[in-house]
Structure 1
Amino acid sequence: LNLHRITEREKNSDSTPERKIEDLTKKRIEKARLKIGKQTGTIGTVSKRSKTERLLNGRYLFDKNEVIGEGHHGRVLRGIDLGTNMRVAVKCLKKQFKCTMGRFQIADRKQKKRNAEIIHEGRMMLQIEDLPNIVSLLDLVETPRKVYYVMPLANKDLSDVVYRRRMTESCARDLMRPIFEAVKGLHDSGYTHRDIKPENIMLYQGGFAKLGDFGLSTEFGYHSGLQVVGTPAFAAPEVLGQFHRTEKLAWLNYKRADIWSLGATLYVCLAGRYPFDDSRPMSEQLSSGIQFPKNRFQHYSAHAVDLIQKLMDVDPLKRISVDEALNHPFFTES
């Protein structure tokens, strides 16, 4: 009888990685539903309203042609929540399949891993939903072929501003303070972002700035060693292999790599350009230190320059922490 029960249980169980991920995501979604009172789910429908309009889960209306942004694995579309009449951003990510005899099937480990990564960002956003100045996840919907993340629609991201004109010091301070606070919340909770840059800082009506895009985020110790992740222009030297990498301190280096990225982002806010260029090898530029051209920094305080230098110390163990940065005169003596 016991053997029969075990056999039936094994027969009816689904222990595939996709099922485990789906079950974990359902638990996170259910927790969020009970906590914030919003209807969410990992299984949903997309109905066709017109040639280009789609209705997601009977609530979120979006147009396939209203593209806000586009990446390697999907697109971000402009939409509206019919329940609240609030404008939303719908991030649409395609799962990877192979087509055999007209049927879609997951093919190999690589595709399984990619599909797990698609779910990862949603899982991360649910885990950190209570942290300050983080882009919130309104809904997560999974269909057989796609995953949709629904988030509040931002007016623009920081890259729309900093590459067009340089900011005043007070403006940069007001925009970056909440981002430093967001990173502090992540680090205090045991997470790293790993891709901090202007494109991932969302600006909302009223001038509020929030940190978004957690596709590369991870918990401390999740990886055995440093991997080359993020955007090279904002990645720390140890991530790019320009500094001795200590495997036992990988979690610390990832944490300090976020600090470097904060410094590089602040530099771009003030200078309107990257801290480094392609004129010389990266190793040579790092050895000579961060440059502060007079024509770009003459109107900024010594506190601003000092903070950037401490955030972008080539040695990750000598970089200041996010707590020390928030207590730096650049933020406290405004």
Structure 2
Amino acid sequence: MRRWCLSTLGWPLPSRSNLCLAHRRGRTIVRSCIKKAEREANTQSWFDYYGTVGQGSFGMVELVHQRHKQASECTGGTTFAVKVCRKGTTRRQLEICRREARIMKSIPPHPFVVGLSHCVEDDGNIYMALEYCMGGDLFTHLGELGTLPERAARHLVAELTLALAHLHADGIMHRDVKPENVLLDARGHARLADFGLATSNITRADGGAMSICGSPGYIAPEVLAGRGYGLAADWWQLGMLLLEVTTGQLPWAGATLGDVSRAFRSVPLDLPAYLSSDATDFLILALCPHPGMRIGSLGADEVKRHAFFSGVRWGRVARKEVPPPFNPSSPSYHGGPFTPCCGHGAEAAQAHAAGEAPRCRVEVSHDEDGAIVMETVPVPQAAEGAAPPRPAGAAAELCEGVGRERGSSARSGGAGGSLRGGSGRARGSGRVWFQ
């Protein structure tokens, strides 16, 4: 067993094998998960490092589970999704990383916003230890299901409305509301995530921000115009999200700024007849090209009062007393055991949900001088032929949900054409800084 102290300048790398690389990566991520209070107190705990569960232009998202000494092997502890933001070589990229961390630190806790536990910075990266939402992202589920029933979409948008109202009350504009940035917890409640494009100190509905940035297909027309925009741009994106989850279409999608601009000028908003009159009216108001006339320009209460939300008990929704109609562990939506993550990072997320052994385990303690010492310890392995540890609570439901077969085709047609077919993704999910 080897010992590494945080005061050392580098990590020993005794071998280039995959196991040693996993241990080295795990120790780096674990170091970012140790809170300041734990650094100062003589506490003992261990961290299970499962690997990468997400990837994007910013860097990686790593999965770590912390357990304290008094906790049992299969219960207790805290799971972190550690977002590793590369600082890059340019001053602008460094400012973007630090701004995201600063904005997330300033957000008061809210049930529908992904929380930041703590943040650590070194020479190459910024590590943000975030709440882990094991239900996956909304975009992945839409890729499997095609669309959501209007009742489920209403509840989803209601929770996101409360999230935006919470952010706007503190002058924070998200600027990138889309299915990829909506995470689901084990019960199906929505969490707004990814504040990489967010900005602060915005108080007006139609002014205060100038940067042309966002995800093509969701950008509001006033953002593209380059004459300034405000909080109303977030309500436009919420309307686009509702349109996509109910119809599977984005009428003004495009890979570049020019494609989106041409789509705004040439493609009308054509809503399908199967939407209710209240949903149709809400979409028309949310997708109004004039920010001053858009629903939400007078505040979140204007959105809550719309007839589309007439049956919503906002107090109960805020307290999570209303079960979400769309639950990732429900048998009604999946044709087999649910996997909390698919694509890149699926192996790590599924291993954590199933209670399997992590890639490495790091034990954290203090030496005689009070300095933090980390040790890579052996990971207990199940005996050959033995069943893996049974996950508890919500994890068990996520792993055992079974139900009807999924439909093999998604809805097609309309102004924007079909976006999905079966479980594939037919559009890009990236975002762009245009200036």
TM-score (norm 2): 0.55
Aligned to 1:184: 165
Q: In structure 2, how many angstroms separate the alpha carbons of the residues matched to 1:200 and 1:152?
A: 14
Aligned to 1:312: 287
Tell me the SS of whatever aligns to 1:260: helix
2:22 to 52, 57, 60: 52
1:75, distance to aligned residue in structure 2 (A): 0.8
Matched, 1:92 2:84: yes
Which string of whole-angstrom CA distances, capped at 9 and with x for unpartnered residues, describes residues 208-246 of structure 1? 1111111111123599752211101111011122xxx54
Tell me the SS of whatever aligns to 2:183: strand
Which string of whole-angstrom CA distances, capped at 9 and with x for unpartnered residues, describes residues 41-63 of structure 1? xx999968943131322565434
RMSD: 2.9
Aligned to 2:306: 328
1:82, distance to aligned residue in structure 2 (A): 3.0
1:203 to 184, 206, 219: 184
For 1:121-200, what aligned pairs fall within 5 Å after superposition? 121-154=100-133, 155-164=135-144, 165-200=146-181
Aligned to 1:20: none
Q: Could you tell me which runs of 5 or more consecutive residues in structure 1 were left unpaired when the two chains were aligned.
A: 1-42, 98-110
User: Quick one: which amino acid aligns to residue 316 of structure 1?
Assistant: P
Q: In structure 1, how many angstroms separate the alpha carbons of the residues matched to 2:235 and 2:9?
A: 41
Q: In structure 2, how many angstroms separate the alpha carbons of the residues matched to 1:138 and 1:284?
A: 41
Q: Is the 8 A contact 1:158 1:199 kept in 2?
A: yes
1:130, distance to aligned residue in structure 2 (A): 2.9
Q: In structure 1, how many angstroms separate the alpha carbons of the residues matched to 2:123 and 2:260?
A: 46
Q: Is the 8 A contact 2:172 2:202 kept in 1?
A: no
Tell me the SS of whatever aligns to 1:218: coil
1:301, distance to aligned residue in structure 2 (A): 1.1
1:263, distance to aligned residue in structure 2 (A): 0.3
Q: In structure 2, how many angstroms separate the alpha carbons of the residues matched to 1:153 and 1:45?
A: 30
Tell me the SS of whatever aligns to 1:70: strand
Q: Is the 8 A contact 1:182 1:211 kept in 2?
A: yes
Change (3 A) 1:60 1:94: farther
Matched, 1:237 2:207: no
Aligned to 1:265: 241
TM-score (norm 1): 0.71
Tell me the SS of whatever aligns to 1:234: coil
For 1:217-296, what aligned pairs fall within 5 Å after superposition? 217-220=198-201, 226-241=210-225, 246=227, 250=228, 253-277=229-253, 282-283=261-262, 285-286=264-265, 289-294=268-273
Tell me the SS of whatever aligns to 1:183: helix
User: Quick one: which amino acid aligns to residue 252 of structure 2?
Assistant: F
1:152, distance to aligned residue in structure 2 (A): 1.8
Q: Is the 8 A contact 1:239 1:257 kept in 2?
A: yes
Change (3 A) 1:177 1:186: same
1:282, distance to aligned residue in structure 2 (A): 4.4
User: Quick one: which amino acid aligns to residue 83 of structure 2?
Assistant: K
Greater mean alpha carbon deviation, residues 86-95 or residues 181-190 = 86-95
Tell me the SS of whatever aligns to 1:193: coil
1:131, distance to aligned residue in structure 2 (A): 4.0
Tell me the SS of whatever aligns to 1:141: strand
Aligned to 1:118: 97
Tell me the SS of whatever aligns to 1:62: strand
Matched, 1:213 2:194: yes
Q: In structure 1, how many angstroms separate the alpha carbons of the residues matched to 2:223 and 2:287?
A: 13
User: Quick one: which amino acid aligns to residue 116 of structure 1?
Assistant: E
Tell me the SS of whatever aligns to 1:235: coil
Aligned to 2:15: none
Change (3 A) 1:208 1:80: same
Which string of whole-angstrom CA distances, capped at 9 and with x for unpartnered residues, describes residues 260-313 of structure 1? 1000001011012213346x874465566411134xxx1x31101110110010
User: Quick one: which amino acid aligns to residue 136 of structure 1?
Assistant: G
Q: Is the 8 A contact 1:163 1:272 kept in 2?
A: no
1:180, distance to aligned residue in structure 2 (A): 0.7
Q: Could you tell me which runs of 5 or more consecutive residues in structure 2 were left unpaired when the two chains were aligned.
A: 1-6, 13-18, 35-45, 69-75, 313-435
User: Quick one: which amino acid aligns to residue 62 of structure 1?
Assistant: Y
Q: In structure 2, how many angstroms separate the alpha carbons of the residues matched to 1:119 and 1:282?
A: 31
Identity value in percent: 27
Q: Is the 8 A contact 1:268 1:275 kept in 2?
A: no
Aligned to 2:360: none
Aligned to 1:34: none
Q: In structure 2, how many angstroms separate the alpha carbons of the residues matched to 1:157 and 1:284?
A: 27
**Runs of 4+ displaced beyond 3 Å:** 43-50, 58-61, 220-225, 280-289
Q: In structure 2, how many angstroms separate the alpha carbons of the residues matched to 1:287 and 1:129?
A: 42
Q: In structure 2, how many angstroms separate the alpha carbons of the residues matched to 1:229 and 1:305?
A: 28
1:86, distance to aligned residue in structure 2 (A): 2.8
User: Quick one: which amino acid aligns to residue 88 of structure 1?
Assistant: F
1:90, distance to aligned residue in structure 2 (A): 1.1
